[in-house]
Structure 1
Amino acid sequence: MLISLLRRAHRPADATRVYYVGNALVDLFWVLSITLNLVYQVTVVDLSPFELVVVGTVLEATCFLFEIPTGIVADLYSRRLSIIIGVLLIGAGFTLQGAVPALWAVLLAQVVWGIGYTFTSGAWQAWITDEVGEERVQHVFTREQQLSLAATFVGTALAGVLGLVTVQLPMVLGGVAVMLVGIWLALRMPEEHFHRTPPQERETFAHLARSFKDGLATARTRPVVGSFFLVSLFVGLSSEAFDRLWTARILDDFALPSLFGSREPALWFTVFALISAALSLVASLAANRWAGRALTNLHPNRLLAGLVLVQVVGVVGLALLGNMWLALGAMWARAAAQKVAYPVQSAWLNRHVDSRSRATVLSMNGQADAIGQVVGGPPLGALGSRAGIPVALVVSAGVLAPAAAVYARLRPQR
């Protein structure tokens, strides 16, 4: 019986099932680790505002530096190997950050899990696209997004419960659990449609240069790919300020009401995250049910342009509305629009990229976002310090707005 169980554990599973389960579990434990991340850094590690910014900059710089090299690992050696390495490193980074409450450990954790993230960035999508085919992948992306949203809801609630014991507990447990998912993937993840480069042809540095050139050539010759790079740059330029400042906007400008006799920010921000995850899941299910044709359109430029505009309005609403619940509602609308757009964007971009360079091009797209965050975050943060957080948020919305025009101007290719 034991031998039978071991053989079953090592037997590759259905690719679609592994994609659903693997992503859902990683997302669940990821959210478990990061829901109270900023609360932990402020209350336990006692980081100053400047140190908080440094932590974020280290993370984004790590993603920027490693996006292309790790993407080439996925194209040259194995999508599967890249994903497994990435998941293990992500879990190790989360565990380190929660286990050692010191600035050096937090900074090192950003480097470790940032590198891990770049190993998975683009590789998941490239792997499942190869395994199931470009014709079926749109449905798979959409279904995975819905399962991940449900997992996010569970992980957020679990973080709130465990955080009542100690803020560090969900971070450490989440990190260890992510590493266990990496081990499960190593045992069960198939890879039948990827053809690795033969050992005698593995010129790593030469391949790096060729893959980078191939990615740039794809962006130049295929308008959809080049436009995605530009959109990712705009998103990065605007998103870092929002990600760092929305919490401060709520805490500084509104009084948190009593919940079960408590006004504890950790409790309230867990509730806010739960509501956001639930609304995003409902939006994704509703869009899939009543706007399925628009979601599966081979050229969804108008849909994506409209969803970007919803995000712009959401950021402006968070910045300017004087009622806390209305401001939060605007923020949740932004999050829901992002979740609905993600599988549509992924499928559209993957259809315009060749398999041999798919992971590299997707990683370059992620790198454009990282460049935007590194470049755009500090100036908008300084603007928030001088002119106020609402001003910085409005400017960040203005920076994002051109992305809608980029989508809108795209025309179908013959």
Structure 2
Amino acid sequence: MGWAALSELVPYYPLYALLFLDTGLSTVAISILFAVWSITGFITEIPAGALADRWSRRGVVVLAGVLQAAGFVVWTAAPAFGAFAIGFVLWGVGGALVSGASEALVHDALADVEAADSFGRVHGWMTAAELLVQVPTAFAASALFALGGYRLVGWVSVGVCLLAALLALRFPEPARVPDGETSLAGTLRQGVREAVRTPALRLTVLAVALIGALDAVEEYFPVLAAAQGVPVTGVPFAVLAVALAGALGAALGGRAARLPDRALPVLLGTAGLCLAAVVLPVLAGLVALCVFYALYLAVLVAAEARLQDRIDSPHRATITSVAGLGIELGSLLVFAAWAVGGATAVAVLVLAVVPVVRSGLRVSVPAELAADRPTE
């Protein structure tokens, strides 16, 4: 949890969009930068998981922190469009590296001490820590900017990323059975094959991808708060309240993972109804949004725990990265739904995912789906 919190305690996070504006970039240029970041993640997500399986999951997590630090060095030393693009490429690769490797590393470390059943609880608390640390991050960013502007914010961000990488060096990494492949490409190919051709695993990967993609609605929380009449000065506090509710839900995700099969679809369906209720007057709408996010993150953590429990393969990080790529692609559905009908359309999308949750997150796998090897 300490690494999860430290890796998010980056003062640049609340301010980098303002850095771009203050550097003189147009909204079009900023959108291009975000596209560079997103495309880099798409391209490198699954190869990064394969690298973790082939080389070292701990090493990949450490490398991710170093690459992110390098990106922030470029931003801070030469703030301009080209430098920002290079920084986003480095950050995008770093994000892809940590995406599948961190969950695989934590699961295998717990399994090595015969505590794999604790993964949901540990993963939930890590997710909660990432949300809770937004509070000190916001205060730190404000104080650092007041003291030394963007340069001080940038160099402190570099230091935090390197400290997180240094802390990751202390992660235990159990020895793993070689996968028999002779190349990185072979590991990648075999991991993807298992993810998409093993029937039971395929459904779980799909469920995690679709549930995880729904988190893209977080980008619209400030918009929702403002639309409900919250004044501009109060929007950050409203969003913080939602984040705290999400942290509570994530912390309970381990317990949610142990609920009966029928419970998770009910929780996600209830979350969808709560999201639809954000059109209610200010206080009721904000409460509904908080309940939505708490229930949603509890289901997401439970889904990710069940995915890790279902993987029985040396390609754990690659398979997790396949789900990660699905999350990135699925988030486009959320953006499209919002463009069509706002929160109501996204709520409909949440409800549409419920049947996939019912099929993909069952604890007991039906006999016709239980395949030891991928289907041909």
Compute the TM-score of the two structures, normalised by the length of structure 1.
0.74
Question: Over residues 31-73 of structure 1, what are the superposed CA-to-partner deviations in whole Å (9 max), with x where a residue is unaligned?
Answer: x3312333444x4244444444333332222211111100001
Structure 1: which 5+ runs fail to align?
A: 1-19, 258-262, 385-390
Q: Which amino acid aligns with 1:176?
A: G
Contact 2:195–2:202 (CA<8 Å) still a contact in 1?
A: no
Q: What SS does structure 1 have at the residue aligned with 2:365?
A: coil
Alignment RMSD (CA, Å): 3.2
1:33 is the counterpart of 2:16: no
Q: Give the alignment partner of residue 247 of structure 1, picking from 222, 228, 247.
A: 222
Distance 2:40 2:189 in 1: 20
2:197 aligned residue:
217
1:185 is the counterpart of 2:162: no
Q: What SS does structure 2 have at the residue aligned with 1:125?
A: helix
Distance 1:273 1:36 in 2: 16
Question: Over residues 254-294 of structure 1, what are the superposed CA-to-partner deviations in whole Å (9 max), with x where a residue is unaligned?
Answer: 4626xxxxx4xxxx554345433433344455x47xxx7x5
Q: Which amino acid aligns with 2:344?
A: V
Q: Give the alignment partner of residue 352 of structure 2, picking from 396, 399, 402.
A: 402
2:373 aligned residue:
none
Q: Which amino acid aligns with 1:407?
A: V
**Aligned residues: percent identity?**
20
Structure 1 residue 111: Cα displacement: 1.7
Seen in structure 2, the aligned counterparts of structure 1 residues 139 and 231 have a Cα distance that, compared at 3 Å, is closer
Q: Which amino acid aligns with 1:178?
A: C
Contact 1:239–1:396 (CA<8 Å) still a contact in 2?
A: no
Question: Over residues 226-281 of structure 1, what are the superposed CA-to-partner deviations in whole Å (9 max), with x where a residue is unaligned?
Answer: 24424524653x554x3444434545774626xxxxx4xxxx55434543343334
Distance 1:181 1:120 in 2: 12
| Count of residues paired in the alignment | 359
Contact 1:315–1:393 (CA<8 Å) still a contact in 2?
A: yes
1:341 is the counterpart of 2:299: yes
1:304 is the counterpart of 2:264: yes
Distance 1:96 1:370 in 2: 26
1:127 aligned residue:
105
Q: What SS does structure 1 have at the residue aligned with 2:133?
A: helix
Structure 1 residue 300: Cα displacement: 4.9
1:176 is the counterpart of 2:159: yes
Contact 1:160–1:270 (CA<8 Å) still a contact in 2?
A: no
Distance 1:296 1:376 in 2: 25
Q: Give the alignment partner of residue 139 of structure 2, picking from 141, 157, 170.
A: 157
Contact 1:40–1:168 (CA<8 Å) still a contact in 2?
A: no
Structure 2: which 5+ runs fail to align?
A: 367-376
Contact 1:316–1:393 (CA<8 Å) still a contact in 2?
A: yes
Q: Give the alignment partner of residue 209 of structure 2, picking from 227, 232, 238.
A: 232
Q: Which amino acid aligns with 1:37?
A: Y
Compute the TM-score of the two structures, normalised by the length of structure 2.
0.81
Residues 52-131 of structure 1: matches in 2 within 5 Å?
Answer: 52-97=30-75, 100-131=78-109
Contact 1:233–1:371 (CA<8 Å) still a contact in 2?
A: no
